Each structure stands twice: as C-alpha cells, then as structure tokens.
Amino acid sequence: MNQSASLNLPAYGFGAAGLGNLYTAISDEEAQATLEAANEAQLNLFDTAPYYGHGLSEQRIGAYLASSESRPVISTKVGRRLEPAGRADIPDNGFESPAPFIPKFDYSARGIREAFAGSQQRLGVEAVDILLLHDIGEMVHGGAHEGILAQALEEALPEMAAMKAEAKTKWIGLGVNEIDVCRQVLEHVDLDVLLIAGRYTLLEHAESLSFLGECHRRGVKVIIGGAFNSGLLASTGEEPLYYDYVEAPPWAVERAGQLRAVCETFNTPLPAVALQFCGSHPAVASVIPGAKSAAQVRQIAGWTQMEIDPGIWEALKDRDLISRDAPVC
C-alpha cells in the first residue's frame, strides 16, 4: 500500500488544457469566468501543465489564484522546459496563439527543477498539491522511449520524490496517455497518483480495466482525463471531431454514434453517461473534464449530477459497447 500525504480530491475536477487555447483561442476574461464557474460548481481540482498553451494555462490559473480567496487543488506537470522563442517560429502544438515559448522535453533532474520553477512563477505559488511527470511513453517518444524511461527512473522521479520531501508537492505521479508506461514505472517506483487521459473512457476501456484494478489494490489513486476522448463523446455534430487530439478515425466516430444512439433511447445525454462511467471505478479518485467557458462548466456540472437509469448500463453491455466487467454506478 502506497502511503500518501492527505489530499481530498473532488469526484470531478477541471482539466485546464483549454485555457491554453487548445484548438481555438479564448480571452483572458473568458478564462477567468471559466475558472470561477468551475470553483462555484465545486470542480475544484485544477489540472494544468507548462505545455498547455506554452505556459498560458498556468498563467491564467495564476491570475485567478491571485484574485480569488478560493484555494482549489492544483495539479501541474514537469518534463518540458519552456524556452523563450525570440525570433524563432513558435510551434502551435494544437494551441491557437500560445505564449511565445518553445516547449523542450527535459527529464533530467535539473530540467525537472527548472520546469517546476517556471510553474511556480506562472502560478504564483511555492508549492502545488500534485506534481506529475508529463508525457513519457512510446506513444510520444517512439524509438527513444527506452532511454526516456531510464532517465525518468534514474533522474526525474527521484528528483520529484525529493521535492515531495521538501513539501513542494503532496503527491507525485505520471500524467500520460498510455497504460503500458504506467505499468513499467510501477514495477520500479511507488507513486501516489496516475493521471491517465483517454484510456479509460466509455469509448475504450477494456485494455485498462485490469490495470485500474491493480492500482486499486496497490492504493495508487487514478485521475481520469480525456473522459470525452478529445471531445468526441461530447460533440454536438457542429464542430470538428477529434480523438487523441487529431482528426477522429472512422472506427471511433462509428462507435461514438452507437453509444449516443443507446443513450438517446433513455433520453440521457451521452456526455453524462461518459463522465459517470469513468467515475464509477473504485480506483478513480477524480474525473477532470475540460471546458473553455462558464456555460460549458455549468453544463458539465449538470451532467455529473444527472441521475442515470441503470438500464443504460445493461443496454450498453448487451450491445458489447462496454465491458461486462466494467464497474458502473
């Protein structure tokens, strides 16, 4: 059993990638209104990262914290340093009008410290509640994965453990989009928490079910990001369809349509079912949907509180759209 400092997470929090202008830009005023709405709705775990808008998301959360008496749980990440762009072209990385910095992977002990120092400045805090090592794994690094993993185990994670001992953070863990690297790290290191994006969702979860069970047995908390699979499960049909931050493949669009059809027979919005499915697993401590407006936050809050007809789960299982073994509410 992993021993963690006491930290109470809300069942639902707020994923702040959108505050970094993911896909489309929002104003600073819209960002502040979004954060205020999230706090009012008690979605008061704010998850951010230097990568989100190249520091813009953290800056906007820092501005909110400076002007508010509320103290949400703050989660951020290390593993990339932000270098001033100067006259160089700024890669958009899916963010419209990001801050003028260039993200550079750096999993060295020194790089971890430098990345966190930047986050402290942007957020306006000395310490955070959760510190996650961001985007290790083969999906991101391809053939360089083994070397990155070795450096994470030898430098990054020990440095993060030292920062935890220094009270710079209460919990440490990973923030990733794949299960395999979580397994690989847990073979060597005890972690407090895993933020897993897009791999345990209503759309796809069969391969991650056994792993979440292992996390539950070990006392490793799980935060679920990407519950809508890059917005696919919350689509209105009027916007581009994404999956894993790129154009959604046909199989994902088709399966999402099948899920939506079942939900419609019960007069229940698919996003409500998607969120509550993720939160039903006993290993899951919090689910952090993203939003880019106060109206979206209020809609999400409504979905989290909606009563779900138990018949939906049976109907989805009967059609092999969710696993028979998946816990449901």
- Taking only the tens place, the pLDDT of each residue in 74-100 is 999 999 999 999 999 999 899 999 999
The contacts of residue 22 (CB under 8 Å, 6+ apart) are 52, 53, 94, 95, 96, 290, 292
Is residue 77 annotated as a catalytic residue, yes or no? yes
pLDDT at 10: 97
Per-residue confidence (pLDDT) for residue 174, from 0 to 100: 98
Give residue 237's pLDDT.
74
Mean of the pLDDT values across residues 118-145?
A: 98
Annotated active-site residue 47? The verdict is yes
Q: Does CATH number 3.40.50.12590 belong to domain 14-238+268-307?
A: no
Report how far residue 217's alpha carbon sits from residue 1's, in angstroms, rounded to the nearest whole number. Answer: 8
> Given this model, what pLDDT does residue 6 score?
84
- Whose tokens are 């290993």? That residue is 283
Residue 36 is which amino acid?
E
Question: Does the annotation count 180 as an active-site position?
Answer: no
**Range from 5-9, 31-35, 101-105 carrying the lowest mean pLDDT:** 5-9
Residues recorded for the chain: 329
The answer to whether residue 2 scores a pLDDT higher than 60 is no
- pLDDT tens figures, 257-280: 999 999 999 999 999 999 999 999
Task: Choose among 191, 169, 74, 180: nearest CA to 136.
Answer: 180
Q: d(Cα 321, Cα 155) in Å, to the nearest integer?
A: 41
CA dihedral for 255, 267, 275, 318, sign (positive or negative): negative
Active-site hit among 12, 52, 107, 200: 52
Q: Of residues 12, 51, 64, 77, which has the active-site annotation?
A: 77
Give the residues across from 196 on adjacent strands.
176, 224
Q: Which residues pair with 74 in a beta bridge?
A: 46
Q: What's the pLDDT at 4?
A: 62
Domain ranges of the chain: 14-238+268-307
pLDDT band for position 1 (cuts 50, 70, 90): very low
- pLDDT at residue 5 tops 90: no
Q: What is the pLDDT of residue 277?
A: 98
Whole-number pLDDT of residue 246: 85
Average pLDDT for the chain: 96
Question: Among residues 47, 106, 135, 192, which one is catalytic?
Answer: 47
The answer to whether 78 and 10 have CB atoms below 8 angstroms apart is no
For 106-118, b/e burial (b = at least 16 CB within 10 A) is bbebebbbebbeb
Place of tokens 């979004």: 34
Q: Tell me the per-residue pLDDT of 24-77, one tens digit each, with 9 for 90 and over.
A: 999 999 999 999 999 999 999 999 999 999 999 999 999 999 999 999 999 999
**For residue 103, is pLDDT > 50?**
yes
